[in-house]
Amino acid sequence: MTNAIGGYFEKEPRTREEHAIPQKDAILLNTGRNAFEYILRSIPNLRGVYLPYYTCNVMLEPLKRLFGVSFAFYHITHQLEIAEGFDLGEGEYIVVNNYFGIKDEYVSRMAEKYKDRLIVDNAQAFYAPVISGIKAIYSARKFFGVPDGGIAYLPNDNKQWERYETDDSVDRLDHLIIRLEQGPEAGYAKYREAEDKLDYQPIMQMSAYTRDALSHIDYDIAQQVRRRNFRILHEALSDYNVLPIPDLETFACPMVYPFLDVRKCDWRYKMKEQRIFIPKFWPNVISYGHFDYEAMLADRIMPLPIDQRYNEEDMKRILKLII
């Protein structure tokens, strides 16, 4: 049977050596959305938050739990950047997404503009460098085979995380093992169950399992493989891709290769037949409808897999179905 490409991760292979995660002095929590909530709760006199329409709806969970904090949405441009100017009022903050892990340089510019009023959503940019003085969140499970795990970077943290209990990942592991042993199709139902179990979880410290798994990943090799695979796809697809892709040297490590086909083709079904699995990110945005551009991005962008599980031949399999 042809090897599967894409989709959810299997159990992450362990290195013999221990490795530190890239975010030095970060706060290890149970989910990315709870890392966001942890940051919000650290802000005195927080009144309001601006988020992009083009984002995952789980980002609203923390905001709905915070009494008295309002939130509003903003549009983005075809460059995946803020489409309008903001004069933030007292107690107001803005969330900027590092989309697909390719907007590091833009995030740096926004840090200069908004300074400590900025919260960076690096859920899709695990390797994006911490910016001094800037709050940021990261998600481990979008890059590696772990069941959960969110990371908050908060300058001058007062160690409030120490008062939270430690999470337990035992009931969210099945899909990682089933995929490793039997393939993605066999474990998909368990994967969906595990995803659902992450909804509306209280803030907790990262589980012992996830901490241990993350301490045995060779982050340098994973980064090199992702960047190589991204380059292979971009060199072949740049003439077809209408989504502006920044120079590879301006970002640390992408999560996927975001492909918006000028031919308006959706290759997902064709790829699925060949066991290449391409998700739709944030289908909740499609239902917004009257926000045409964001809905189009959610519907048509194909996040092609480039992660550390795959080699150059795997990239050629993907390209063969598109070109």
Q: For 147-200, write each residue's pLDDT tens digit.
A: 999 999 998 877 788 899 999 999 999 999 999 999 999 999 999 999 999 999
pLDDT at 284 > cutoff 90 = no
> Does residue 34 register a pLDDT over 80?
yes
- Residue 289's pLDDT band (boundaries 50, 70, 90)? low
Q: What angle separates helix 219-237 from helix 312-322, to the nearest 10 degrees?
A: 30
The mean pLDDT value for 105-134 works out to: 97
Structure tokens at 181: 């042993």
Residue 278's alpha-carbon distances to 13, 229, 284, in angstroms, are 23, 16, 17
Q: What does the alpha-carbon distance between residue 107 and residue 102 come to, in Å, rounded to a whole number?
A: 10
Mean pLDDT on 81-90: 90
Q: Whole-prediction pTM value?
A: 0.96
pLDDT (0 to 100) of residue 216: 96
Tens-digit pLDDT profile for residues 293-307: 899 999 999 999 999
Round the average pLDDT of the chain to a whole number and report it.
94
- Per domain, the residue ranges of the chain are 27-214, 219-322
Q: Which of 152, 134, 146, 47 is nearest to 96 (CA)?
A: 134
Fold of 219-322: Aspartate Aminotransferase, domain 1 (3.90.1150)
**Residue, of 112 and 84, whose pLDDT is higher:** 112
- pLDDT for the residue numbered 214: 97
**What per-residue confidence (pLDDT) applies to 264?**
86
Q: How confident is the model at residue 132 (pLDDT cuts 50, 70, 90)?
A: very high
- 259 pLDDT more than 90: yes
27-214, CATH topology level: Aspartate Aminotransferase; domain 2 (3.40.640)
Residue type, 208: A
15-30 confidence digits (pLDDT tens): 999 999 999 889 999 9
| Per-residue pLDDT at 138 exceeds 90 | yes
